[in-house]
Amino acid sequence: MKHLETQVAIIGAGPSGLLLGQLLARQGISNIILERVTGDYVLGRVRAGILEQGFVDLVREAGVADRMDEEGASHEGFNISIDDRSVRIDLKKLTGGDVVVCYGQTEITKDLMESRAALELVTFYEASDVDLQDVTAASPSVTFVHEGEDYELKCDYIAGCDGFHGISRQTIPEQLRVEHERVYPFGWLGLLSDTPPVSHELIYSKTSRGFALASQRSATRSRYYIQVPLSDQVEDWSDERFWEEFKKRLPKRAAEKLVTGPSIEKSIAPLRSFICEPMQYGKLFLVGDAAHIVPPTGAKGLNLAASDVSTLYKILRRVYLEDDKECITQYSEIALRRVWHGERFSWWMTNMLHNFDDMESLDLKGQTFERFMDSELSYYLASEAGQKVIAEQYVGLPYEDLA
């Protein structure tokens, strides 16, 4: 058994773990990351790419913003269309100056990985059998296996940044954990292609055929999605079939401009709302997808992970730089307040924009639910006050300070 020591053990090298590690290292707080798969595997996952200002600021504070600032595109608005009627949500005007930045999560992850390697910060990729020990004791530890060798990593705190399927959440005893969940009766089929985006701003499109989203990664790379039944397999969808269906779900003016091409990636993701309470147990803090999942409709997944990172970063800075160990009890409450807002917004956008016609939803018939949501969406879009409610949540609610 090999013995290691660090101040903060971080489980998972997704965006949450990498960003936290980078921020802590810059404050002189030591950390080691344990990741189950290879770095290339992590980078192979295609995820969303709309960043709130709070996230952008945090990446700048972490000192890894050069490429994001150069290549990321500032988006001052986005469109919601219902059949052929399009309404532009003017983020900048409605929020008094806030915008979002379009820059892929994969790129952020890559920038963080490169910076971590350049700073020679320790990461164990392909770490197996990761297990958290004594998380309520004065000095917890993490055991794992790497290249056939057993390790014990002693630490002061553990950041569980290991995503929805990770092991950290399970360390909180079942009787202390409340899990809230809603699984939606459809999925998103996503296609990535090297074609110019159909519109320079995102289009969220509600139609009787189902929802579609036109997003992008750059001026030459598009990311498009359509709502599909959960029973569909990605093999059911040739590129041709995807393009044909996607085009039918775009407002006419956009559809006319659609450029199609071969897919680089195509996958189906189920939609889920999930929150675990509390997000802390002893010296363990859950961060990002390990504690909560949102359906992608509000582009909040990565952004909620970032606000957790920000809160934990503030806490650990106070612990190590101001010697205040009491403040750690604030984490769960502060993080969860913002998480619930983001969860509610994502749930609301999902309900309003998808087609529920054939589905039983809550205690309502699909068609009845659908009519309520149609009415809700047109009500909000019809007034500046309604659009403002959408805009200020889309750009992201403010981060809360510690008490």
Q: Shortest Cβ distance from residue 11 to ligand APR (Å)? A: 5
From 18, 20, 34, 50, residue interacting with ligand PHB (rule: CB under 6 A) = 50
The encoded tokens of residue 16 equal 């949450």
Q: Shortest Cβ distance from residue 109 to ligand APR (Å)? A: 8
CB contact at 8 A, 285 and 331: yes
From 11, 19, 42, 48, residue interacting with ligand PHB (rule: CB under 6 A) = 48
Please choose which of ligand APR, ligand PHB, none residue 36 contacts, taking the beta carbon within 5 to 8 angstroms, the exact cut-off set by kind: ligand APR
The encoded tokens of residue 138 equal 């004065």
Whose Cβ is closer to ligand PHB: residue 22's or residue 297's?
297
Whose Cβ is closer to ligand PHB: residue 284's or residue 353's?
353
Q: Which amino acid is at 155?
A: C
Please choose which of ligand PHB, ligand APR, none residue 50 contacts, taking the beta carbon within 5 to 8 angstroms, the exact cut-off set by kind: ligand PHB
Report the alpha-carbon distance of residue 133 to residue 152 in Å, rounded: 10
Whose Cβ is closer to ligand APR: residue 8's or residue 130's?
130
283 is catalytic: no
Query: Which residue among 151, 204, 224, 399 is the active-site one?
Result: 204
Q: Give the largest Cα separation in the chain, rounded.
A: 65
192 contacts ligand PHB (rule: CB under 6 A): no
Using N-to-C axis directions, what is the helix angle for 15-26 and 301-321, rounded to 10°? 30
Whose Cβ is closer to ligand PHB: residue 144's or residue 224's?
224
Whose Cβ is closer to ligand APR: residue 42's or residue 80's?
42
DSSP assignment, residue 24?
A: H
**How wide is the angle at C-alpha 72 spanned by C-alphas 71 and 74, nearest 5°?**
135
Query: Which residue among 140, 251, 295, 296 is the active-site one?
Result: 296
Tell me the CA distances in angstroms from 113 to 3, 20, 125, 362, one per residue in order: 25, 12, 11, 43
Query: Which residue among 292, 300, 314, 354 is the active-site one?
Result: 300
Size of the site for ligand PHB (CB under 6 A): 10
Query: Which residue among 151, 320, 380, 394 is the active-site one?
Result: 394
Q: Given the rule CB under 6 A, which residues bind ligand APR? A: 11-17, 34-37, 42, 47-48, 105, 127, 130, 161-163, 165-167, 288-289, 301-302, 305
Please choose which of ligand PHB, ligand APR, none residue 72 contacts, taking the beta carbon within 5 to 8 angstroms, the exact cut-off set by kind: none
394 is catalytic: yes
41 is catalytic: no
For residue 382, with 0-12 CB atoms within 10 Å meaning exposed, 13-18 middle and 19 or more buried, which class applies?
exposed
Report the alpha-carbon distance of residue 190 to residue 154 in Å, rounded: 41
297 contacts ligand PHB (rule: CB under 6 A): yes
Q: Which H or E element spans position 255?
A: helix 252-255
Q: Which amino acid is at 126?
A: E
Q: Shortest Cβ distance from residue 357 to ligand PHB (Å)? A: 22
Whose Cβ is closer to ligand PHB: residue 73's or residue 327's?
73
By three-state DSSP, how is residue 157 classified? strand
75 is catalytic: yes
Interface positions, 90-109, toward ligand PHB (CB under 6 A): none
Interface positions, 148-177, toward ligand PHB (CB under 6 A): none
CB closest to ligand PHB, residue no: 215
The owner of tokens 């009627």 is: 85
Whose Cβ is closer to ligand PHB: residue 172's or residue 353's?
353
296 is catalytic: yes
For residue 44, with 0-12 CB atoms within 10 Å meaning exposed, 13-18 middle and 19 or more buried, which class applies?
exposed
299 contacts ligand PHB (rule: CB under 6 A): yes
- Classify residue 269 as left (phi > 0), alpha (psi -120 to 50) or beta: beta
Q: Shortest Cβ distance from residue 289 to ligand APR (Å)? A: 4
The encoded tokens of residue 19 equal 């960003």
Report the alpha-carbon distance of residue 324 to residue 279 in Å, rounded: 20
Residues designated as active site = 75, 204, 296, 300, 394
